[in-house]
Every structure is written in structure tokens, then in C-alpha cells.
Amino acid sequence: MGSLPPTHLDFSSHQDISKDNLLTLFKSQQDLLNHFFKHLDLTQTLSFSRLLLSASGTVFFTGVGKSAFVANKVSQTLVSLSFRSSFLSPLDALHGDIGALSSRDVLVLFSKSGATEELLRLVPCAKARGAFLVSLTSVPGNPLAGVCDMNVHLPLERELCPFNLAPVTSTAIQMVFGDTIAVALMAARNLTKEEYGANHPAGRIGKSLIFKVKDVMKKKDELPVCKEGDLIMDQLVELTSKGCGCLLVVDAAHRLIGTFTDGDLRRTLKASGEAIFKLSVGEMCNRKPRTIGPETMAVEAMKKMESPPSPVQFLPVVNEDNTLIGIVTLHGLVSAGL
């Protein structure tokens, strides 16, 4: 049984959220975001984008409360795109971390009101370090914009919150603005898929862009290898013990002749009965199996396995002269996170 709710909470009321109410809220938020897009000053935005693109040092982002979460996220996005960026806590900055700033750096300050006390205290300290300061604010004529080197106004009609207090639209605007600028910088730097993937080696994105067949294939003693003259029944251990679901049939020079799967075994046994004891692997193997090269991207191997006319569970890996050097399995690709 699941845990019972705390006794001090009343779950007996019939409060609910209707589909119509949700639809109204989403449409209202859409209208508020459209206000932002319609009134955003592209001249300011372009100047800001070019500043970040030309920065010779680190681009630091800072903020307080919900804006701090946005600042940290935008900074991490830039890092993932190979830009030098970091989040600077305004509190920690005033207790030693300000030492990270230099005259080569840019400090971007997120603040809806532009009157955040912690940020206003940070400004003279950051200026003393020689950093270039940019405020991203939504209230016209705010004090933070007046003391920074550059300001970008993020137009905000109001918060979706019925009290116009909870920062549920302003933070959405900040996030959309920051992430869009990040993509603009990504395009300006001509970042490739391979470069992006190199920054995400442990994730599925990175693995699909980095890993080649040779990185995920089984090889050497892991391969279920046999000769075409070997009797099927003599190779049952090899067929079942390597976890590949097949035998790889090779000649004396280790060139691939064909494959014999556990499915082939069942079909042969059904069709031949006791005669299977006298049949060789070479007589019953598939001599035109799908194969793949070691330098092919691993994600392409998965696509090839799933391609028509019917999916397969493995691909023998061969070099230019058809010499067998490995096998890549669907299970192995999935286990690798692809």
C-alpha cells in the first residue's frame, strides 16, 4: 500500500482544474510571450550577441532567486557549446569569488526589476575588476541598467500569476532570450555536430555523434567464429556461449563467408530432423549477410539493423578485403546508450 497523506492536510475538498481553465492559461501565457517577441529591441539584442561572440575572456552570468536558476542554465548551455562561461553567485562574489573576474570578462546580470540589492552591491566590485557589465532587465528606467555598461530590455507586459507577482512569465522570457542567443552564437561559430557531441560524451547525443562501430563491437575471443566445414552440432556451444545469437563463418584467411543464426538452427532442425547431425555450417549459412565497416558511426549500424526487408540483431564487422574483425549487436548498441 502507498503512504497515507499527512493528517494535517485536507484532501476532502472538491477543488479541481478544468480543461478550459488550463487552455485559457496557456493562451494567456502565449499572448504574454508574443508581447515579448513583438517588442524586443533587436538592435540591443544584436549588440549583446556580438559582445558575447567577441569576448576574449569568460562570460559570467549572475542573478538572484529564480533569475539565478536561469543565469546558471544559460551559462551551462554556452559551456556545452564550447564557450567559456560560468555562473557567479552574487553572494559568493562578495566573499571572495569576485577574484574570478578580469578585464577580459563579461558579466551578465539577470534581474526582472533591475533593483535587486545583491546585484547593485556587486556592480562596483565587478567594475573595479575591469569586467564589462550587461544588465538584462524588464522594468524601464531601473537602477541596474543605469550603472551597467550595456542594458538589454526584455519586454514584459505582466506575469501570468493572477497577482502579477510570481515570476512565471519573466523567467520564461529570460530563458527564451538566453537560449536563443546561445543558438545564435552556436551558428556564428559554425559549431559542428561532432564538436557538440564531444562535449556530451556520456549522453546519448554525444555517443551517437562520437562512437564508431569499432568502439562498440565485440572482437577477437568474443567472436563466435567457425569454419564452413564444421558440423552444426559441433558448434552449438560456440553458437550459444558468446551472446551474439549467431556463428560467423570464415575461411582459412579469416574472411567472412556467411552467418548462421540460432533462428537458422531452429529452421534447419525442423526441416532436416536427425539429418542435422551430418550437416555442416557452410551448407546452411547465409552467404549474403549484411555487414558494416569499423569506421561507420555506431548509430548508422543501428539504422542498418532496422532497415528493410527485415530487421536483424547483429552485423559482422569487416574491413576492405572482407576480413572479419568484429561483430556489433543490437543489444550491445542499446547497452552503450545509443
pLDDT in tens, 215-242: 999 999 999 999 999 999 999 999 999 9
Model pLDDT for residues 32-59, shown as the tens digit of each residue: 999 999 999 999 999 999 999 999 999 9
Give the residue range(s) of CATH 3.40.50.10490 domains in the chain. Answer: 20-190
pLDDT at 208 over 60: yes
Note the CATH architecture for domain 211-334: Roll (3.10)
3-state secondary structure of 46: helix
Model pLDDT for residues 317-338, shown as the tens digit of each residue: 999 999 999 999 998 888 877 6
Enter the pTM of the model.
0.69
How far from 20 is each of 23, 34, 158, CA to CA, in Å?
A: 5, 21, 21
How far from 48 is each of 44, 60, 162, 166, CA to CA, in Å?
A: 6, 14, 32, 27
pLDDT at 5 over 50: no
Question: Which pLDDT score, from 0 to 100, does residue 14 have?
Answer: 64
Model pLDDT for residues 267-294, shown as the tens digit of each residue: 999 999 889 999 999 999 999 999 999 9
**107-121, 191-205, 211-225, 304-318: which has the highest mean pLDDT?**
107-121
CATH number of 20-190: 3.40.50.10490
How confident is the prediction for the chain on average, in pLDDT?
Answer: 92
